[in-house]
Chains A and B, each alone.
Chain A
Amino acid sequence: MRAFLYSCQIAFKNLVVERWINLLTILSISVGLLLFTSYLTITLNIDTVIKRWGTGFGMVVYLGDGLSMETEESIKELLKQDSDILELKYVSSDEALKELREVLGSRSSILDSMEANPLPSSFELKLKRETLTPIYIEKKAARIKEMTGVEDVQYGEKWLSSLNTISVVMRVIAVLLGAAIFIAIAFITYSTIKVLFYRRKDEIETLKLLGATRSFIKMPFLIEGLFIGGVSGVISALSLFGLYKFTVMKFVEFLPSIRGLLVSLPLEAYIAIPIAGALMSLTGSFFATGRIRY
């Protein structure tokens, strides 16, 4: 514990003595973290929009021709049991034809030439917004389509598929960007600590000869790295919050209807940013101090 406190003392003294190189490192890491967290915020917002659109789609379950009342009732019962379905409306083929006539208006006379009603009976479903994702809706549609008596299910597949692809691509980019930022931050800290380690080479040699353990020698550098990463994380988190507030303010100015739609990263994420920065820098510092040999 005493050695740790002494290491903290040495680390903070070195941070002050080498303030310019440390400041530059902190700024570089802050920018890196800010880029990544900004991207995460954009991804989160796009994801939220996708979710909102996806669940806004209605789903229409078309029934086969000539189904008995019992079969239609059993399908209705099965759909009612589904907790994801918020509303269920039965539309008979006659009602569908009536609706079509209303839509066609004065041109509805073209339907008079048809001998029989070509429209199938259907169920119009409204799904719960909160928990449903495009992938989930797709799977649900496929399950409903497998029911006996169901001819087809329509729900705006192309839209959902496109939105789903965007969502997946955004997530993949987030992972790749995260990995790249991790490596970059670790490397930046590695370079800085390596330089500081090299500058204190003679001192380290003396400490080794006096009987200092590896941990005693490495500890101040690790603390320095931890501090650099942590402070960078705090700066980045504060900048991100400021940037978010500024963006919301500007967007609302031009597009008042967007108020309340833009989302920020959760509080946990803001807390995680300094921790992540500290851990990334710690990794860099750990490798920079290398394996001390006596």
Chain B
Amino acid sequence: MIQFSNVSKFYDEQIVLKDISFNIEKGDLVYLTGPSGSGKTTLLKLVYRAEHPDDGQILVAGWDVAKLRQKTIPFLRRNVGIVFQDFRLLPNKTVFDNIAIALRIQGLDPRLINEKVNDALNDVGLKHKSHALSQHLSGGEQQRVVIGRAMVSKPTVLLADEPTGNLDVETADIVIKLFKEINARGTTVLIATHNRELFMTSGRRVIFLRDSAIEKDIIP
């Protein structure tokens, strides 16, 4: 589902990712970890083509990401749900609208949008807050809106960048539980985190990045 083959990325002269190769199968839930600056966020950005690789090949759900034309990129991104570290919610819009936008972009029927968004709101436990403005929510609630938005279009791949970074332990547990549920429905999930507690006892595959390269790839 996600395949990196000898991928390298530079910012100016500085190397950010060096000769990265791995393969994540369909339906896997994988943790990506490493110290700050090790290249976790850049690696995720390469998956949804916010960054272009300088070398190597990236295949995501059958798309050759490096070779995508500008006008094709949106269609790749519709297949990749993203949970951003900084949430990236639309200000002055309700919880409902924030989730619905992922479907409106695709030009879906409003009745279908209504149905799917309500399902997503139920899944993330925010049905009662559907008319609340996103900026009036707590951090944990905002994170759940982001997850709802990422999963509402049933993407084949879900990426999460430090999804529990700003959350307390209890809320973090709820969020991780949500990811597991999404994964159980067949979505491939890749979570970038430096929180060791999340993956140490998870029994899931963990890719360790250090100094811009893969240090370890633990497959249970």
Contacts and interface: CB of A to CB of B under 8 A. Distances in A.
B60 to A, nearest CB: 13
Given A209-B88, A210-B77, A2 B110 contact: yes
A2 B106 CA distance: 9
A133 B165 CA distance: 81
Given A210-B149, A211-B75, A293-B70, A2 B107 contact: yes
Interface residues of B, number: 27
Contacts of B106: 211
B186 to A, nearest CB: 20
Contact of B77 (A2, A203, A209): A209
Contact of B105 (A205, A210, A293, A294): A210
B37 interface: no
By DSSP majority rule, is chain A's interface helix, strand, loop, or mixed?
Answer: helix
A3 interface: yes
B108 interface: yes
Contacts of B88: 202, 205-206, 209
Nearest to B101: A210
A169 interface: no
Contacts of B91: 202-203
Contacts of A210: 77-78, 82, 101-102, 105, 149
Contact of B108 (A2, A202, A205, A208): A2
B40 interface: no
Contacts of B76: 211
Interface residues of A, number: 18
A6 B74 contact: no
A294 B70 contact: yes
A213 B70 CA distance: 10
B137 interface: no
B105 A207 contact: yes
A194 B76 CA distance: 28
Interface in B60-81: 70-71, 73-78
Nearest to A206: B88
Contacts of A203: 90-91
A213 B101 CA distance: 13
A216 interface: yes
Nearest to B113: A2
A2 B109 contact: yes
A16 to B, nearest CB: 12
Interface in A205-226: 205-214, 216
B50 interface: yes
Contacts of B70: 293-294
A209 B105 contact: no
Nearest to B49: A294
Given A293-B70, A294-B49, A294-B74, A211 B105 contact: yes
Nearest to A205: B88
11 contacts: A3-B104, A6-B104, A202-B91, A203-B90, A209-B82, A210-B105, A211-B74, A211-B78, A211-B106, A212-B105, A294-B70
